[in-house]
Amino acid sequence: MSNGYSAVPNIIVGNATITGTLTVTGDGGIRIGSAAPFVRLFKDGAARLALSMNLGTDLATRDVTTQLAHDLAMGEPGYSPRLFEYNPLGTLLSSMLDRTLGINGTLAVNTGNVTENTVGDVLIPGNTLGPHGSLKIEWSLVANVQGGVATTFRVRLGGVQCALFTKSAASNFHMVARLFNRGLTGNQLTSMMVSDNVVGDVELDSLTAVDTTVDQHLTITISSGATTDSWNSYGFQVHAAMQRAASL
C-alpha cells in the first residue's frame, strides 16, 4: 500500500514504518499502550503540546481512577512548562518547572580600579517573566584584599539597580536575591539575603520598575573602594524563572 491505507476498523497488525511525515489532524494526538493506564501525546484545549500518563485529553479523566496521573504541557502560559499531577484521590496539583537561565563557575578576579565592573551577565528574554514571575540569583565571593573604603556589589536588571551590598572589611559571603514581578510586568520587588562569615546574615529589600516584556540583561557587578582591593567572584547562577499570567 504505497499511497494509502484503508481498512475497517483501521488496525494495522504488527509494526509500521513511516519514512515521511506523519500528520494527525485531530487534537487527540497519539495514545500509547495496549491497556490502561495509557500514555498520550496531544494538543490540549489551550493549544499546548501535552504529554500525559493515565490522563485523558480533557486533563481530568483518569484511565485508572485509583492511580496517580501526570500531564506535562509546554506553552502555558509562556516559556515555562506546566505540570498537572493528580493523586490517587483525584486531587489536582498544578505547578511550574523552575529552570536555570544562566550559570558560570569561572573565577573572576576584580581588582586594579574603582569602576563598576560586570562579572556576570545573563540575557532575560522579553516575557520570560509574566506578572507573577520571579528570578533567583545566587552569587559567591571571597575577599583577597579589602581596605576601609567599602566595595559595592550590585545586581542590576536592565541597568537598574535592584540589589546592593557593601563591604569595608574582608570576608567570604554568599548572596541570594529573589526578584518578583508584583502582579505587573513592570513592577518588581527584590529581596536579598547575604550570608557573610564576618557580619552574619543581612537582609535587604528594594523596589524597581523595569519593563520585563522586552529583552533585559541581568548583571552582577563589583565596584572596588580602592584600586588595591581584590575580590574573587567564584560563580553565579540565575534560575527559577516562571512565566505566570496569574498567581499559582
- The per-residue pLDDT for range 120-165, each reduced to its tens digit, is 999 999 988 889 889 999 999 999 999 999 999 999 999 999 999 9
pLDDT at 90 exceeding the cut of 80: yes
pLDDT at 1 exceeding the cut of 50: no
pLDDT at 6 exceeding the cut of 70: no
With 0-12 CB in 10 A as exposed, 13-18 as middle and 19+ as buried, what is 185?
A: buried
What pLDDT is stored for residue 160 in this prediction? 98
The pLDDT > 70 percentage for the chain reads 91
Give CA–CA dist 65/22, Å, rounded: 32
Question: Would the pTM count as exceeding 0.85?
Answer: no
What pLDDT is stored for residue 171 in this prediction? 96
Structural contact between residues 95 and 101, judged by C-beta atoms closer than 8 angstroms:
no
Query: DSSP letters along 4-44, please?
Result: ----SS----S----SS-----STT-EEE-SSSSPEEEEE-
Going along the chain from its start, the domains and CATH numbers come out as 1-97 (no CATH), 100-239 (2.60.120)
Q: What is the pLDDT of residues 162-212, one digit of tens each?
A: 999 999 999 999 999 999 999 999 999 999 999 999 888 889 999 999 999
How many Cβ atoms from other residues are within 10 Å of residue 176's Cβ? 15
Specify the higher pLDDT residue, 179 or 6: 179
Tell how strand 151-157 and strand 92-96 pair up: unpaired
What pLDDT is stored for residue 93 in this prediction? 92
Mean pLDDT of 43-48: 85
What pLDDT is stored for residue 34 in this prediction? 92
Mean pLDDT of 106-115: 97
What pLDDT is stored for residue 78 in this prediction? 58
Give CA–CA dist 151/147, Å, rounded: 9
